[in-house]
Amino acid sequence: MAMSREEIFENVRETLVDALAVEPDEVTEDATLTGDLGAESIDFLDIVFRLEKSFNIKIPRGELFPDDLLNNPEYVENGKFTSQGLERIKGAMPHADFTDFENDPDVNKMTDLFTVKTLINYIESKVA
Amino acid sequence: MRWIWIDKFLEFESGKRAVAIKNLTLAEEHLHDHFPGYPVMPPCLIIEGMAQTAGILVGEVRDFQEKVILAKVKRATFDGIARPGQQLRYEADVESITDQGATTTGKVLVDGEPMGVIDLMFSHIDHNVSGLDFPEENFVFTEEFKSLLRTYHAAR
């Protein structure tokens, strides 16, 4: 039976509480993993492992958190995503909300795309 | 000197499980400082012993070609202490392993009695998500280290 969005959210919340040692009420849909929940780069790998186990799914490398974009000069120029790069990342992350990012595609703001909602959307697409 | 905190493997099942032991002795200098008059094995070094047991287990899966680095101590809880004359037993199990890294779960026993739980995460650092470059030479599993593993029969 397919999981409801609420059930997915609860599982994601539990995963992030364990992985990042945050309080459950800090894990809101809009919270960013890096900015609000204090995730470091190594935590992203931990989160992937935990989500795979918790939801019994396989998360191929780069599918949830694309990792091959920043070093490509066609995609990033002067610290900003090019229009080509923006198209690429939007294609790679259909589960993320690009409303704010499109206005200022600064690479330093890329981590803002990784919100709790992004995780829930991704998991929802995997368990559907 | 090589930083080695296990004496011997008792079991080694490739990609699955490893069991190693460490005998504690007063010949170890650090025990005289931790603590003067009351020597106990520092828990951080017990974690290191588990990291070596589990790290070798993870490294062997890819024939020691990856640089396996301890990335995160997911959980470490201790219910007791370990003192000179006693034997630590590290039981490590692979939970998951991918191109980027691995997670392991582990139990620590002292003289056969459960003493703690240590769950770890390792990174294959050449595949790190930040795209950082590291030296080509495998500074984790050096030739010297691999020859030691062969004497343990942990490596081919």
Structural domain count of chain B: 1
Q: Which residues contact A50 (CB under 8 A, 6 or more apart)?
A: A15, A18, A19
pLDDT digits (tens, 9 = 90+) for B88-105: 999 999 999 998 899 999
Which of B98, B103, B129 comes nearest A41 by C-beta?
A: B129
- Provide the shortest C-alpha distance from residue A80 to chain B (in Å): 17
- Provide the shortest C-alpha distance from residue A41 to chain B (in Å): 7
Q: Which residues contact B27 (CB under 8 A, 6 or more apart)?
A: none
Catalytic residue list contains B34: yes
Q: Is residue B27 part of a domain?
A: yes
Q: Is residue B2 part of a domain?
A: no
The pairing of strands A80-81 and B68-78 is: unpaired
Please name the amino acid found at residue B35.
F
- Looking at per-residue pLDDT, the higher value among B79 and B126 belongs to B79
| Per-residue confidence (pLDDT) for residue A128, from 0 to 100 | 77
Residues of A in contact with B94 (CB under 8 A): none
pLDDT for B155 beyond 60:
no
Which of B72, B103, B131 comes nearest A70 by C-beta?
A: B131
Which of A44, A48, A67 comes nearest B131 by C-beta?
A: A67
pLDDT digits (tens, 9 = 90+) for B107-136: 999 999 999 999 999 999 887 766 677 777
Q: Is residue B114 part of a domain?
A: yes
Task: Determine contact, residues B145/B152, Cβ cutoff 8 Å.
Answer: no
Q: Is residue B1 part of a domain?
A: no
The pairing of strands B68-78 and B17-23 is: unpaired
The pairing of strands B87-97 and B101-110 is: antiparallel
Instruction: Give the per-residue SS3 of A100-124.
Output: HHHHCCEHHHHHHHCEHHHHHHHHH
Q: Is residue B69 part of a domain?
A: yes
Q: Is residue B124 part of a domain?
A: yes
pLDDT for B144 beyond 80:
no
pLDDT for B2 beyond 90:
no
Inter-chain touch A42–B72, beta carbons under 8 Å:
yes
Q: Is residue B74 part of a domain?
A: yes
pLDDT in tens, chain A (128 residues): 578 999 999 999 999 999 999 999 999 999 999 999 999 988 999 999 999 999 999 999 888 888 778 888 899 998 999 999 999 999 999 999 999 999 999 998 998 999 999 999 999 999 87
- Provide the shortest C-alpha distance from residue A125 to chain B (in Å): 22
Containing structural domain, residue B76: 8-152
Least Cα distance to B53 among B10, B82, B87 occurs for B10
Cα-trace Rg, chain B: 16
Q: Assign A87 to helix, strand or coil.
A: helix
Instruction: Spot the catalytic one: B30, B34, B127, B153.
Output: B34
Is the minimum CB–CB distance between B71 and chain A shorter than 8 Å?
yes
Q: Give me the CATH number covering residue B125.
A: 3.10.129.10
CA distance readout (Å), A17 to A31, B32, B71: 13, 39, 18
Q: What is the ipTM of this complex?
A: 0.80
Domains and CATH numbers, chain A: 5-127 (1.10.1200.10)
Q: Is residue B118 part of a domain?
A: yes
Residues of B in contact with A42 (CB under 8 A): 71-72, 121, 123, 129
